[in-house]
Amino acid sequence: MAKLHFFFFPMMAQGHMIPTLDMAKLFASHGVKATIITTPLNAPYFTRSIQRTHHSISVLTLKFPAVEAGLVEGCETVDQIPSPDMLPKFLKATAMLQDPLERLLQDSRPDCLVADMFFPWATPVAAKFNIPRLVFHGTGFFTLCASENLRLYMPQASVSSDDEPFMVPNLPHKIMLTRSQLPENERCDTETVLLTMLKQVKETELTSYGVIVNSFYELEPDYADYYRNVLGRRAWHIGPVSLCNREVEDKAQRGKESAIDEVECLKWLNSKKPNSVIYVCFGSLGDFTASQLFEIAMGLEASGQQFIWVVRKGKIEEDGHEKRLPEEFEERMKDKGLIIRGWAPQVLILDHESIGGFVTHCGWNSILEGVCAGVPMVTWPQFAEQFYNEKLVTEILRIGVGVGARQWQLGAGSDCIKGEAIAKAVKRVMEAGEEAEGMRTRARAVKDMAKKAVEEGGSSYSDLNALIQEMSS
């Protein structure tokens, strides 16, 4: 019998390509033939990893019409977009992949298409060939439920200011948010390119075959149930998908090329005591002003903790100078802190026993990776759905504390969190005491649940099998 064949088509962003590769590996390890669709400049990221493993995964490329959509040649990932206002052009370029995708599906006729939420047009294209399309959002159940209820009931429209809290209606927990924490497109109902597209995204959740979720039941049972039973979505949870990376190399080489040699990194980590280092990283897109970088540096120093701080390679500022850390900071901190400029081997670092906490921007992959490492977190959401994810961590799972971010902002933004607040939050998760111990105990418990979920017989393992069975029949 021919192998079941799945196509995976992620958005060209690290936070979507990384879990998609893990997903493809997972399906391949369950006997499925997996093909990843991407653009030429993103292909090496996938092939590099696939070549090392023995999975039957192939990669097909579609030319990315960057120039046709008004972007510069070679801009093929979201982190290369020069400024947030260019995002609609990037989305336009992705939408132009509709016809090439159609031709690919016509020629290859896979049994299933797992396509990113950002490609709502993939559902009707797949339907032309009777191919079931699954939506991959890249976030968890809680956030899917909370954002859907805001869309349905619009409580944000009834508050008098951006800072007045409102309750997200009808959820299993009482969750309060403010309008300033919502993505611009969710604050009100004015039509924008993004809003129109995100409306289509929600509609395609219902018109597609179902939704595939990188989460596990035990992490957010109330919301896994709510999503299926109350909101009526057909969903399969198969995560945390990052747990499929078991070897050092697999953990070290996810996403971009690391800015630090993995041996050097492990050597540094091995020289530290268990739970004695806080890891600070803001994902693949997080950007800060020079003054915010200064406050982070001051905060880390004042916390008295050892740290690894990943500083994204700064965009060149207007005056032509790259953003710099405070003078002599690196020199002063040389025994205490490791600064990685560029891409860090995040999962390798988080999984090391010397890591005792994680300052995170609350991207969903990072949250799950923190959960799998069993470390308490300092939450510092910035954009996308990160303010929702923060609520799950701090109020439902109670495995983290907020740094006090109040303002949704794409790009470096203006909201500045002071060094004292950063130091205080870091100490709350790292220093001995009842609060930190409570968080650490709960974090370890969810870590154990995560591992069990993906083992044979676990909830994610079973859901993955159920999905494969259903697609086979």
Give the nearest distance from C-beta 335 to ligand UDP in angstroms.
23
Nearest one of 29, 22, 37, 16 to 117, comparing CA atoms: 16
Stretch that binds ligand UDP, among 127-135, 281-289, 293-301, 429-437 (CB under 6 A): 281-289
- Residue whose tokens read 């390119």: 193
Structure-derived torsion over alpha carbons of residues 178, 183, 187, 191, reported in degrees to the nearest 10: 180
Least distance to ligand UDP, CB of residue 351, Å? 11
* Complex with ligand UDP: residue 175 or 347, whichever CB lies closer: 347
Q: Total number of residues binding ligand UDP (CB under 6 A)?
A: 19
Sign of CA dihedral 195, 200, 203, 208: negative
Which range, of 14-22, 40-48, 118-126, 413-421, touches ligand UDP by CB under 6 A? 14-22
Burial 70-106 (b: 16+ CB within 10 A, else e): ebeeebbbbbbbeebebeebbbebbebbeebbbebbe
**38 touching ligand UDP, by CB under 6 A:** no
- Token look-up 């026993």 returns 353
Residue 74 region, left (φ>0) first, then alpha (ψ -120 to 50), else beta? left
**Residue 343 lies near ligand UDP (rule: CB under 6 A):** yes
Nearer to ligand UDP, 231 or 285 (CB): 285
Q: How far is the CB of 277 from ligand UDP (least distance, A)?
A: 16
| Residues sharing a CB contact under 8 Å with residue 470, sequence separation 6 or more, in sequence order | none
Q: 453 or 468, CB closer to ligand UDP?
A: 453
Q: Which of 405, 408, 399 is nearest to 367 (CA)?
A: 399
**Which residue, 18 or 468, has its beta carbon nearer to ligand UDP?**
18
Nearer to ligand UDP, 22 or 148 (CB): 22
- Which member of 18, 126, 171, 417 binds ligand UDP (CB under 6 A)? 18
248 and 349 Cβ atoms separated by less than 8 Å: no
Task: Give yes or no for residue 346 binding ligand UDP (CB under 6 A).
Answer: yes
With respect to ligand UDP, which residue has the nearer C-beta, 178 or 245? 245
Active site positions, annotated: 16, 116
Asked if 283 interacts with ligand UDP (CB under 6 A), we say yes
Would you say 78 and 90 are in contact if contact means Cβ atoms under 8 Å apart? Answer: yes
Residue in 235, 281, 403, 423 binding ligand UDP, rule: CB under 6 A: 281
Q: What does the per-residue mask of binding to ligand UDP show for 234-273, with x meaning CB under 6 A?
A: --------------------xx------------------
Interaction of residue 344 with ligand UDP, rule CB under 6 A: yes
> Residue 285 interacts with ligand UDP (CB under 6 A)?
yes
**Are 429 and 400 contacting, i.e. CB atoms less than 8 angstroms apart?**
yes
The candidate with the shortest Cα–Cα distance to 346, out of 281, 275, 289, is 281
Which chain residues interact with ligand UDP by CB under 6 A?
14-15, 18, 254-255, 281, 283-285, 310, 343-344, 346-347, 363-366, 369
